[in-house]
A = this chain, B = another copy of it.
Amino acid sequence: MESFRTPGQRAGLTRAAVLGAAQDLLAEKGLESLTMRALAQRLSVAPNALYSHVTSKTALIDDLLDEVLAEVQAPAPDIADASDGLYQLMASTYDVLLTHRDLVPLYLARQGARGSNAQRLGTIMLALLARVNVHGSAASEALRVLIVYTIGFAAFTTHPPLDAGVDRPVIPAETLNNFTNGLRWLLTGITQASAVS
Which A positions have Cβ atoms within 8 angstroms of B?
Answer: 105, 108-109, 111-114, 118-119, 122-123, 125-126, 136-137, 139-141, 143-145, 147-149, 151-153, 155-156, 159-164, 166-167, 174, 177-178, 181-182, 184-186, 188-190, 193
A contact face: mostly helix, strand, loop, or mixed? helix
Q: Is A111's CB under 8 angstroms from B155's CB? A: yes
Q: Is B140's CB under 8 angstroms from A156's CB? A: no
Q: Is A189's CB under 8 angstroms from B185's CB? A: yes
Query: Bound complex: CA of A185 vs CA of B145, how far in Å?
Result: 11
Q: Is B105's CB under 8 angstroms from A109's CB? A: yes
A140 and B155 in contact, given A186-B186, A188-B185 (Cβ under 8 angstroms): no
Q: Is B185's CB under 8 angstroms from A126's CB? A: no
Q: Is A140's CB under 8 angstroms from B111's CB? A: no
14 other contacts beyond A122-B162, A140-B167, A144-B161, with CB at 8 A cut-off? A111-B159, A112-B161, A112-B162, A125-B164, A137-B166, A137-B174, A139-B166, A140-B166, A144-B156, A147-B162, A148-B149, A148-B153, A148-B156, A152-B152
> Of all chain B residues, which has the CB nearest A121?
B164
Q: Is A186's CB under 8 angstroms from B193's CB? A: no
Contact partners of A118 in chain B: CB under 8 A: 162
Contact partners of A159 in chain B: CB under 8 A: 111
